[in-house]
Amino acid sequence: MTAADWITAVLLPTGALFALVGTVGLVRFPTLLGRMHAAAKPDTVGLFLLLAGAACQLPDLRSAAPLVLVALFQAATVAVLAQTLGRVAYSRGEIDERHLVADELADAVERARKDAD
Amino acid sequence: MTESPGTSASAVPAARVWWRRLAARLPTVAWLTAMWVVLWGDPSPGTVVAGAAVAALCYSAARLPHIPVRLGFRPLHALRLAARVAYDMLVSSLRVAFHGVWRPRRTNGAIVAVPMRTDSDFLLAILSALLSMVTGTLVIELNRNQRVVYVHGLPVNDAGAVRGLRAQVRRTEELLVRAFGTAEDLEIFERLAGLPEEAEAAAAAAAGRAAGEHTRREGE
Amino acid sequence: MTVLDYVYAATFTMLGVGVLFVLYRLVRGPSVLDRIVCLNTISVLVVSAIVVEAAVRGDTAYVGLMVTVALLGFVGTLTAARFAERRAHDRG
């Protein structure tokens, strides 16, 4: 076992654990927005850790370059998706107010409507 | 996406600005070429030339609108920003994971209005992407005219956590402006950051009301 | 078996169990957005598994596949999400 092997041995299970815990949250959270938080983003952290762990097992830098590309794509796509899905969820009214301590967007919409009248 | 704003080329004779148009589009082509080379896994000259040709062809065929990039760059603050976002991602992932496993039913969220102190489209876009990347936060809505982002945070169970969420967002914003803002962005930021929070929010609200602005759905 | 073999086995197992959890939520719903989120999560988990596979084999020959899966998942999810939004507007 080299040092790189040990790093891999730590990073891979940690990354997979992040992904697994995220999916547990996806099953257990009672609200749609909660599930969205739990699903996509711990998975992304997990994927980053897996990528770092996998990079340690590759023979040279050249074969590790595509992994950087995957990380970049994942970072860009997860942000766009999270935002799009969040807005769609809000516009469809699939927000559970019982699990919101504040909704300042609804307040602002309400204020704007009053001002218009 | 809104309609392409139309390049300034229509106002100036095309011959004088063709090289500027080319230079402005070069980074995109270079990035596409780099991706091509990485995916081939073979940095030989033939691959690079073929990649550049394909990239240039695709880019000109797609007729994408060109948006001028106005960003500054301060390496030290960029590093701090990267460290901050990485730290937020890790810690909030752990927090959301903990809440998801142990007490999902007692975990609440909140949609919080955060007044911004930057007025650059680019910085706001980058900021909302960064916020949406971090586990506990999600940008639901962006009111461009009043410079307010509406962030959904989780877990947020009381008023203290609401304040914490707002502080976290504004901290990320500050680091982002210091790292990538132009001198002008930074100046606007400093001026608005000097105001106390309530005065600032009131000013933003007043400005929005004067313009007769509704909270509008931001078109993609 | 070396330590790394156990590590790989554990990693694949965790990812597999994760996919099972996601499948449960995919079947249960209840919202169409839940299902969209689930499909995206599965595509991320598949990419994760391919990354681990690359570590096992010590080369990144599958990376083209990886990027394709990731981008297809992204485009699919985005399209589905926009479609869900359109439907909501039509009804309202």
Q: Which residues of C touch A86 (CB under 8 A)?
A: none
Q: Quick one: B89 and B198 in the same domain?
A: yes
| Contact yes or no for B39 and C63 at CB 8 A | yes
Segment C22-36 mean pLDDT: 87
Q: Which residues of C touch A15 (CB under 8 A)?
A: 11, 48
Q: Quick one: B203 and B96 in the same domain?
A: yes
The span from the CA of A31 to the CA of C32, in Å, is 13
Q: Quick one: B184 and B97 in the same domain?
A: yes
The nearest CA of chain A is from the CA of C22 a distance in Å of 6
pLDDT at B177 over 70: yes
The ipTM value here is 0.84
In a domain, B216, yes or no: no
- Tokens found for residue B113: 């209005």
Residue-range definition of the domain harbouring residue B32: 8-62
In a domain, B215, yes or no: no
In a domain, B220, yes or no: no
In a domain, B28, yes or no: yes
The pTM assigned to this predicted structure is 0.80
Q: Quick one: B170 and B80 in the same domain?
A: yes
Question: Confidence class of residue B204 from pLDDT cuts 50, 70 and 90?
Answer: low
Q: Please return the burial class of A111, using the count of CB atoms within 10 Å of its CB with bins 0-12, 13-18 and 19+.
A: middle
Q: Percent of chain A having pLDDT more than 90?
A: 4
How many domains, in total, are found in chain C?
1
Report the chain A residue with the minimal C-alpha distance to residue C53: A54
Q: Please return the burial class of B121, using the count of CB atoms within 10 Å of its CB with bins 0-12, 13-18 and 19+.
A: exposed
Q: Quick one: B89 and B115 in the same domain?
A: yes
Using DSSP, state whether B111 is helix, strand or coil. Answer: strand
Q: Quick one: B30 and B137 in the same domain?
A: no
Q: Would you say B85 and B173 are in contact if contact means Cβ atoms under 8 Å apart?
A: no
In a domain, B173, yes or no: yes
The span from the CA of C70 to the CA of B35, in Å, is 15
Question: Please, which residues bridge with residue B113 across strands?
Answer: B150
Of A66, A69, A87, the CB nearest to B140: A87
Q: Which residues of A touch C14 (CB under 8 A)?
A: 13, 16-17, 19-20
Q: Quick one: B50 and B134 in the same domain?
A: no
Q: Quick one: B127 and B18 in the same domain?
A: no
Tally A–B CB contacts below 8 A: 157
Whole-number pLDDT of residue A30: 85
How many domains, in total, are found in chain B?
2
Question: Which residue has 């007044």 as its token pair?
Answer: B115
Residue type, B64: L
Residue-range definition of the domain harbouring residue C30: 3-91
Question: Confidence class of residue B10 from pLDDT cuts 50, 70 and 90?
Answer: very low
Q: Quick one: B87 and B184 in the same domain?
A: yes
| Contact yes or no for B39 and C60 at CB 8 A | no
Q: Quick one: B114 and B55 in the same domain?
A: no
Q: Quick one: B120 and B22 in the same domain?
A: no
Q: Which pLDDT tens digit goes with each residue over B151-175?
A: 888 888 888 888 888 888 888 888 8
In a domain, B176, yes or no: yes
Q: Quick one: B58 and B115 in the same domain?
A: no
Within 198-217 of B, beta carbons closer than 8 Å to A belong to 209, 212-215, 217
Alpha carbon C76 to its chain centroid, in Å, reads 12
B146 vs C51, residue with greater confidence? C51
Nearest Cα to Cα of residue A87 among B169, B128, B97: B128
Of A5, A35, A50, the CB nearest to C52: A50
How many domains, in total, are found in chain A?
1
Question: Confidence class of residue B2 from pLDDT cuts 50, 70 and 90?
Answer: very low
